[in-house]
A = this chain, B = another copy of it.
Amino acid sequence: MQILKPAVLLYFLFISFCVTSQSDEDVIKTIYSQSLTNGKSYDWLNYLSNQIGGRLSGSLNAEKAVAYTKEELDKLGLDKVWLQPVMVPKWVRGIKEYAFIETPNGQTTIVNICALGGSVATPSLGLKANIIEVKNFEELEALGKEKIEGKIVFYNRPMQADLINTFEAYGGCVNQRYSGAMEASKYGAVGVIVRSMNLRLDDYPHTGSMGYEDLPNDKRIPSAAISTNDGELLSTMLQLDNSIKFYFKQSCKQLKDVQSYNVIGEITGSEYPNEYIIVGGHLDSWDLGDGSHDDGAGVVQSMDVLRLLKESGVRPKRSIRVVLFMNEENGLRGGKKYAEVAKQKNENHVFALESDSGGFTPRGFSFDCNDASFNQVLNWKPLFKPYLIHYFEKGGSGADVGPLKTETNVLAGLRPDSQRYFDHHHASNDTFDAVNKRELELGAATMTALVYLFDKYGVNPITNKGTIKK
């Protein structure tokens, strides 16, 4: 153990005095100022995105990201940093997918597709068949086996443009991607092409997870996303002539589970060390871009929360952890593992905050909690006004923190501006240049400010099993 010199001790006493005597307004101002003038999130993201790149679960890059973030957390002088083992699925894309539309006279038009995560491959020479467009599972059912059998099903329901929250528009479409193959297989379809979950018309196909659930292997049909521009083209060509054929070839494969890790760092609480506040994002990403928005941003913001607390002179009463979850995209194994271990160890997780909605200008938070806790949060809202943080609503939190839910704790998700998110989501243009430094840093500061408040005041004491905490 290091012996502190008197001058150093005095310094810490001074800092400690300053913080305890500072108003919440002042502490929060320091946090934002630190993030905007001295933040680390952007540098970390630069490394994750440009030196490592896409971090699909089970890939070499994912393991590089584990090692890098562990090393960076080690440098921060936290009380503990460790890796939490977790087995993760390993799906590999194989060689680049290839697809074209063929007219009856043999003319072909190449289109942009990518395999959906979890999909099986096509036969090695590819798959060519007639293709039929539907907008939803009801249309599929109405067409029935007679019209579907032997064909490729093309799901082409676009995201609803007049929903303000683009995640709602996503929620209204994503069943085509996740369950499209499963449903189409029931009617004898041989493959599935899904319009990319993208509000823009452009040439990028967007991947994402799909599942077969308990479908037997011989019923599992290959499934790919098509870019919105090519989806529109395909739809138009089908309207002109429904006898056109679609060809696609993909060699993706599900391998055996492999060992990976959640990366965890902790500042141990000075007064209530068994009350845990966690902040996190997911370290894995899809493989097409470099995962800067999904979820490199959440990872580096969460890391910076602990550093910003220290830099702002906050000495937490409760234990604050950053948790970098592995395998959010295609398995959620990291989130489940973290909750499982927390339960085994009887760790009381009072507040968990996730950032997994992109690195855009933060607008506020969505809270999954009881009314008493939500009212407590609403009291803090004026503290955020100078930073244009206005969105405090009840709703979902995040996939990785979800398994930590109890009756009394608070889960939350950072809510950045959502307008551009699906331009990049799961596509090859989810890259570092699409992240603005200030927007990223504002997000980190906003998260830090909320963590600071929950640490200082605890979760609403009345509902928290009667225990009064100040």
Residues of A within 8 A of B (CB): 32-33, 36-37, 161-162, 164, 166, 199-200, 361, 363, 386-388, 390-391, 417, 419-420, 423, 436-439, 442
Contacts and interface: CB of A to CB of B under 8 A. Distances in A.
Given A37-B161, A161-B36, A420 B439 contact: yes
A419 B391 contact: no
B390 A390 contact: yes
A199 B442 CA distance: 14
B391 A391 contact: no
Contacts of A161: 36-37, 438
B417 A361 contact: yes
A439 B164 CA distance: 10
19 contacts: A32-B162, A33-B162, A36-B161, A37-B161, A37-B162, A164-B386, A164-B388, A164-B442, A166-B438, A361-B361, A361-B417, A363-B388, A388-B390, A390-B390, A390-B391, A419-B436, A420-B438, A420-B439, A423-B436
Contacts of A436: 419-420, 423
Contacts of A32: 162, 164
Contact of A417 (B166, B391, B417): B417
Contacts of A423: 436
Contacts of A166: 438
Given A388-B391, A420-B439, A423-B436, 7 more contacts: A32-B162, A36-B162, A164-B388, A361-B419, A363-B388, A390-B391, A420-B436
Nearest to A422: B438
Contacts of A36: 161-162
A419 B390 contact: no
A414 to B, nearest CB: 15
Contacts of A388: 164, 363, 390-391
Contact of A439 (B363, B419, B439): B419
A436 B424 CA distance: 12
Contacts of A33: 162
B386 A438 contact: no
A34 to B, nearest CB: 9
A421 to B, nearest CB: 11
Contacts of A37: 161-162
A391 B387 CA distance: 11
Nearest to A200: B437
Contacts of A391: 388, 390
Contact of A199 (B386, B390, B438): B438
Contact of A164 (B387, B419, B437): B387
Nearest to A439: B419
A97 to B, nearest CB: 26
Contacts of A361: 361, 417, 419
Contacts of A442: 164, 419
Contacts of A390: 388, 390-391
Q: Which 6 A-B pairs have the closest CB atoms?
A: A390-B390, A33-B162, A36-B162, A36-B161, A419-B438, A419-B439
A374 to B, nearest CB: 17
Nearest to A30: B162
A92 to B, nearest CB: 33
A438 B199 CA distance: 9
A36 B162 CA distance: 5
Contacts of A420: 436, 438-439
A200 B423 CA distance: 23
Nearest to A436: B420
